């Protein structure tokens, strides 16, 4: 089991499409950085140097810096990032099962490894590669902001930050900021990893590569349209709550139910592997 899992992870990560997806994600976060964070850093520097009126002095005093300027809490750029993310996550390894079936590779590997173990390894690789593509650009943006902006901690009474008391772990944001960011990254890793597993589910019904790689994005966007325009509850949409400041405590039950559905669908692929015709 360990050997096949290592092999699948190696195939998922050591390929040009994984680096391509990471590069596109980092490109979006760089656009955010130069569009907002860098300008803020320059303005703060000028205030400290005395060459600019203290436009940002209030923010500097209350510690606006990294925790407010990175893409994870600042709305500039996040809508593009989280809109395209399901597609980026699927590009590196989402169609691997489909390719393995068409090439006959799966017939070769399952003569030496139990089919169920192969599917478990495949599912793990798809999950981990999808989660990694989602969070690595966020971590890059956070580190870049930490290099150019002062690391201060937010003050709730300043009312300068997008995280409020109705946000999940809102109190943690102000008391243990970096623990909040860690939970934020972990949540997005799990969500986009599970969403990426829909590629495996779709392979049971469709052998077209484009249909398989687009399936997580199509479902993701369809849920967004249904929640936003059908139900009038935009906060239920994964395109909204994956931006953690908009993950409200009152919606936690609905959001966790969505995660549970994704988890069940992913686990059913392992159970269904027994009946899968290769």
User: What are the strands, taking DSSP E only, across 72-198?
Assistant: none
Helix, strand, coil percent values for the chain (each to nearest 5) = 75, 0, 20
Region of 31 (left: φ > 0; alpha: ψ -120 to 50; beta: rest) is alpha
**CB-based burial label for 103 (10 Å; 0-12, 13-18, 19+):** exposed
Rounded CA separation 214/193 (Å): 15
Please identify which residue in the block is written with the tokens 């995280």. Answer: 163
Rounded CA separation 80/76 (Å): 9
pLDDT value at position 64? 52
pLDDT value at position 264? 92
Rounded CA separation 156/170 (Å): 10
Tokens for 220, please give them: 């993701």
Q: Is the pTM of this model over 0.85?
A: yes
- List, for residues 42-99, the tens digit of each pLDDT value: 777 666 666 555 554 555 544 456 777 888 877 677 888 999 999 999 999 988 888 8
pLDDT value at position 176? 85
Contact 71, 141 (CB under 8 A): yes
A 10 A CB-CB count for 105 gives 13
Please identify which residue in the block is written with the tokens 């937010």. Answer: 154
Contact 183, 190 (CB under 8 A): no
pLDDT value at position 220? 95
Helix, coil or strand: residue 167:
strand
Contact 197, 130 (CB under 8 A): yes
Low-confidence ranges of the chain (pLDDT < 70): 1, 45-65, 75, 156-160, 272-278
Cα 193 to chain centroid, rounded:
8
pLDDT value at position 278? 53
pLDDT value at position 128? 95
Q: Residue 61 half-sphere exposure, CB side, CA atoms within 13 Å?
A: 8
Please identify which residue in the block is written with the tokens 């400290």. Answer: 48
List CB contacts of 106: < 8 A, sequence separation 6 or more: 97, 100, 118, 278
pLDDT value at position 272? 57
**CB-based burial label for 84 (10 Å; 0-12, 13-18, 19+):** middle
pLDDT value at position 102? 84
Contact 82, 239 (CB under 8 A): yes
């Amino acid at each position: 089991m360990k050997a096949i899992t290592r092999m699948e992870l190696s195939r998922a990560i050591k390929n040009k499409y994984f680096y391509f997806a990471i590069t596109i994600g980092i490109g979006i976060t760089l656009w955010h950085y130069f569009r907002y964070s860098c300008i803020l850093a320059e303005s703060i520097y000028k205030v400290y140097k005395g060459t600019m009126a203290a436009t940002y002095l209030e923010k500097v005093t209350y510690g606006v810096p990294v925790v407010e300027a990175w893409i994870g809490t600042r709305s500039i750029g996040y809508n593009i990032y989280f809109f395209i993310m399901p597609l980026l996550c699927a590009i590196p390894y989402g169609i691997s099962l489909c390719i393995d079936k068409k090439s006959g590779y799966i017939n070769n590997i399952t003569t030496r490894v139990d089919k169920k173990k192969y599917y478990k390894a495949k599912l793990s690789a798809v999950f981990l590669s999808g989660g990694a593509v989602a969070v690595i650009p966020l971590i890059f943006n956070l580190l870049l902001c930490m290099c150019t902006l002062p690391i201060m901690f937010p003050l709730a009474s300043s009312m300068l930050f997008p995280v409020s008391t109705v946000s999940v772990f809102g109190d943690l944001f102000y008391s243990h900021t970096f623990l909040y960011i860690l939970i934020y990254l972990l949540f997005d890793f799990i969500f986009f990893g599970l969403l990426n597993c829909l590629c495996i589910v779709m392979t049971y019904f469709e052998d077209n590569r484009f249909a398989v790689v687009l399936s997580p994005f199509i479902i993701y966007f369809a849920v967004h349209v249904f929640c936003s325009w059908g139900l009038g509850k935009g906060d239920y949409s994964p395109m909204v709550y994956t931006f953690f400041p908009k993950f409200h405590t009152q919606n936690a039950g609905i959001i966790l139910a969505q995660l549970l559905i994704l988890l069940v669908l992913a686990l059913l692929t392992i159970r269904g592997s027994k009946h899968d015709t290769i």
